Amino acid sequence: MQAVSASSWMLFFLCVALWGSAYAGVHVALEGGAPPWTIVAGRLWIAAGILNALLWMRRRQGKEPPPTRGVTVKLAFLGLLGASAPFALLSYAQQTISSGLAGILAALTPLLVGVAAPLVAPDERVTTNRIVGLLLGFAGVVVLTGADALKGLGGGAIIGQLAAAGAAIAYAINTLVARSGKPIPALEAAAGWIFFGALWSTPMALLTFGDAQIDMSAVTMITLLGIGPTAIASIAYFHLLNTAGPSFVTQTNYVLPLWAVALGAVAFGEVLHWNAALALLLIGLGLMTTQGLWRTLLMRFAAMRS
C-alpha cells in the first residue's frame, strides 16, 4: 500500500470540498433556467479551456513534459466514463429515486475500486484493514442518509436504481483505467479528460437546450463550477491517482455526504442530528483503518512513553 503524505490528505479534502460544493452550484444553475446537460457541457468546456491554456503556457515555459504518446484513446474513454456517462445516468436516476438511496448506491464506487485496484496497481493489496475500513465508510454513508433509504431498494424504481449503480460502476472503471498503463502527468491528464468529456456532452446539450431562458446567476454558477469543482479538482484527482492510489481517491465518496450536510448547516441553517456525528465517526474510523493509521498512532504513542 502506498504511503499517504500530508499533501495527499490536503488534496483529498480539497476534492471533497470542491465536489461537495458542486451540488449547491448545480441547484442554483438549475433554478436560473439552465437545463442539466447545458450545465454539464458548460462547466466542462470552461474547465477544458482553462486547463488546456494552462498546459500550453507551462509547456512553452518548459515546466511540463511534452505530450505523452499513445494516450488519446485512453483520455477519450475517460471523458466518457468519468463525465458524460455517469452524468447522464445520475440525471435519470435522480428523477425516480431518493437522494439518500442515490448516495448509498454512489458509495459502491470505493468498494468496487478497493477490491479491483490490485489489477492495475500491484501495491494496492486487498488486506483485512482495507476491507474493514471500506465497510466502515459504507456503513457511515448508510447511517448519514438513513436506513429508511434502503427501503426503496428494488420495487418500481428499479431502472433508476440500476442507473445510479451504473454511474457508480462507471466512476469505478474510470478510476481504474486512469491508474492503469503508463502514468500521465496530472495537468495533461486533466486537460485531456475534461476536453473529451466536453465533446461527449455537447450533442446532448444541444438536443435538450430547447428555448431555455438562462439568467446571469446560472451563467455565473456554471463558470464557478467550471473553475473549481471541474478544473482545479481534476488536477488534484489525477495527482492523487498517481501518488496515493485509486482506493484512496475513491473514498472521497464517503466524505462527500458529510461535507454536504455540514455545508447545509452552515449556509442554510439546517439542523444536524445524531446520525451525522455517528457517520463522521464511522467514516473517520474507516479512513484510518484503510490507510493503516492505527499502527502509526500506536507506534508514536509507544515512542512517547518510552
| Three-state SS at 89 | helix
Q: How many angstroms separate the CA atoms of 285 and 297, rounded?
A: 13
In a domain, 127, yes or no: yes
In a domain, 1, yes or no: no
Average pLDDT for the chain = 83
In a domain, 11, yes or no: yes
> What pLDDT, on the 0 to 100 scale, is given for residue 45?
96
Backbone angles phi and psi of 182, in degrees to 5: -70, 140
Q: Which three cell numbers stand for residue 151?
A: 427501503
In a domain, 45, yes or no: yes
Q: How many angstroms separate the CA atoms of 16 and 287, rounded?
A: 14
Return left, alpha or beta for 181; rule: phi > 0 is left, psi -120 to 50 is alpha, else beta: left
Per-residue pLDDT 10s for the chain (306 aa) are 556 788 888 999 999 999 888 877 887 888 899 888 899 899 999 999 999 999 999 999 999 999 999 999 999 999 999 888 887 787 777 667 766 677 777 778 888 888 888 877 777 777 788 788 888 888 888 787 776 666 666 665 788 888 888 888 998 899 899 888 888 999 999 999 999 999 999 999 999 888 888 999 999 999 999 999 999 999 999 999 888 888 888 888 888 877 877 776 776 666 667 777 787 788 887 777 876 655 555 555 555 555
In a domain, 192, yes or no: yes
In a domain, 204, yes or no: yes
CB neighbourhood size of 150 (10 A) = 13
The percent of the chain in helix, strand and coil, each rounded to the nearest 5, is 80, 0, 20
Q: Looking up cell 468529456, which residue turns up?
A: 197
Amino acid type, 13: F
Q: How many angstroms separate the CA atoms of 54 and 108, rounded?
A: 34
Q: Which domain holds residue 126?
A: 6-305
Return left, alpha or beta for 33; rule: phi > 0 is left, psi -120 to 50 is alpha, else beta: left
| Count: domains in the chain | 1
What lies within 8 Å, CB to CB, of 157 at 6+ separation is: 96, 97
DSSP code, position 153: S
In a domain, 225, yes or no: yes
CB neighbourhood size of 282 (10 A) = 21
- Which of these, 40, 84, 100, 1, lies nearest to 229 by C-alpha position? 40
> What pLDDT, on the 0 to 100 scale, is given for residue 147?
65
In a domain, 259, yes or no: yes
